[in-house]
Structure 1
Amino acid sequence: MFPNIKENAIFIADSHFNEKRSQLLTFLKKLKSKEIKTEQLFLMGDMFDFISGESKYFIKRNKKVISLINELSQNIEMIYLEGNHDYNLKNLFPNVKVYKRETHPIFMNYQNQEVALSHGDIFVNDKFYDVYCKFIRNHIFLLFMNTIDFKNYISKKIYYGLLGKNICHNIKSFKDIVSKRVKHYDAKIIIEGHFHQGKEYIIHEKRYKNIQSLTCSNEYVVLENNKFIGKSL
């Protein structure tokens, strides 16, 4: 039996948090103050512009957000689907249910409907990308990178390179992309992040929801009475 998605669960995705994109920190502070309320929170991946459990530099840079997530997870059920910018997180978030990319999709129930959830960077039909994903998540490799990261030179190059990246874009052929993706999912409802589009479709008798980027839309999503409702931050 799959676990349940609770009524009024909140979904956020692709905040790509950094010093220029503070929406995730704002959201978590409102959750702490109870201006925003939920019993269950889904973090759909790429919550940070980059972080791994091995990266001392990025852990230090994101200390406030990490601390808030850990504090809130004492009282809120949190499910974190690792993305392509955030991985190897279990040790950082001991009270959060963290799911690595290779376990996606995960399955849950909502109103007697089977739901498949993933960050969204799976089923890409690219063997090189799958190999690349395994390599950059390798614990030994990441520890080695820490040892040669003198004065945080490598980490800073990554950080400031990502800082100037435009993450907000419209994919004109997105419905065609979704039509191909839903064939890989054996569930009535499919929820993904990754694409930053915030669109919803019924395709092949399956309901597909892409959770919008928290940064691009300034919205989080509440699942209420079988509807995905975007709410302004």
Structure 2
Amino acid sequence: MKIYLFSDAHFGFSDKEEIKFIKFKKLLEEIKKNANKFIIIGDLFDFWFEYNSVIFSHYFKVLFEIYNISNNIETIYIAGNHDLWIGNFIKNLNIRTIIGKYEIKLNGKKIIFAHGDDLKFRIKTRDVLKNSFLVNIFKTIHPDIGIKIAKFISKISRKAHNSHLKEIPNWLWSYFDRVEGDVLIIGHLHSPTYSIRNNKKIACIGDWLEHYTYGILDENELKVLELEGKVIYTLNL
């Protein structure tokens, strides 16, 4: 069993979109050959919103490449704070969508996958942005105007969530210490890092915005690598 993990590409945000996409296609070629499962741990896009009959055109090629593997490899998309409006369009690409956490048992260990932003105990930005009244208002806005508003919202979200942390923060441990589980695998922090406490482990797989890192999980270990093959860290389960 090989599970490939990917997070925080924020397609649509930076001036390196073509480089990010070319590298992403290269990773997907590896996934086609080796993976049993592919899990996207949020923020694939810097902003995703589904109108009733429209999607943002510049995301099409990314979705097309994922669709090409989703018919043969189980593909799971966990929503992040930048793409929590994923809906039927993504589902119709044979991609399982999850708002919240995804759990599996692997070699007797309980593994929890989550983007990470929603594990902090406070009034959550997600609760505001998922408000059905606000969502329905946004659907009435022309998409060309909507994308401009979206970029502004994404900028606010980046500041509010204070990502790009180089160490696992205490608020993640405050969550994980209270729940049953052996390993928590997240994105959101952007830096590839991990922490161990009382036989429990929290691991961030990094991002596809600056680090170009991804994870490979099997029955024995989580390995986080750069695209070129350099191992950033190995975490035994």
TM-score by structure 1 length?
0.79
Say whether residues 1:124 and 2:116 are aligned partners.
Answer: no
Change (3 A) 1:77 1:55: same
Q: Which residue of 1 aligns with 2:95?
A: 96
Shift, 1:221, TM fit:
1.2
Change (3 A) 1:82 1:21: farther
How do residues 1-233 of structure 1 correspond to structure 2 at under 5 angstroms? 7-18=1-12, 20-22=15-17, 25-31=21-27, 33-34=29-30, 37-54=34-51, 59-93=56-90, 94=92, 95-100=94-99, 104-127=100-123, 129=125, 131-135=127-131, 138=132, 141-149=134-142, 152-159=144-151, 170-171=164-165, 174-224=168-218, 226-233=220-227
- 1:56·1:146 contact (CA, 8 Å) conserved in 2? no
Shift, 1:190, TM fit:
1.0
1:89 partner SS: coil
Amino acid at match of 1:221: G
- Which stretches in structure 2 are left out of the alignment for 5+ residues? 228-237
Structure number with the bigger relative contact order (C-alpha 8 A, sep ≥ 6) is: 1
Distance 2:22 2:179 in 1: 33
Change (3 A) 1:24 1:224: farther
Distance 1:208 1:117 in 2: 10
1:92 partner SS: helix
Shift, 1:89, TM fit:
2.3
- 1:58·1:155 contact (CA, 8 Å) conserved in 2? no
1:209 partner SS: strand
Change (3 A) 1:37 1:180: same
- Which stretches in structure 1 are left out of the alignment for 5+ residues? 1-6
- 1:108·1:115 contact (CA, 8 Å) conserved in 2? yes
Q: Which residue of 1 aligns with 2:231?
A: none
Distance 1:134 1:157 in 2: 16
Q: For residues 138-192 of structure 1, what are the alpha-carbon distances to aligned partners after superposition, in whole Å with 9 as ceiling and x for unaligned?
A: 3x6434323233x7224224337858x7999653663434332322331111111
Amino acid at match of 2:188: H
TM-score by structure 2 length?
0.78
2:89 partner SS: coil
Change (3 A) 1:58 1:156: farther
- 1:82·1:99 contact (CA, 8 Å) conserved in 2? yes
Q: Which residue of 2 aligns with 1:3?
A: none
Aligned positions, number: 220
Distance 1:145 1:90 in 2: 15
2:75 partner SS: strand
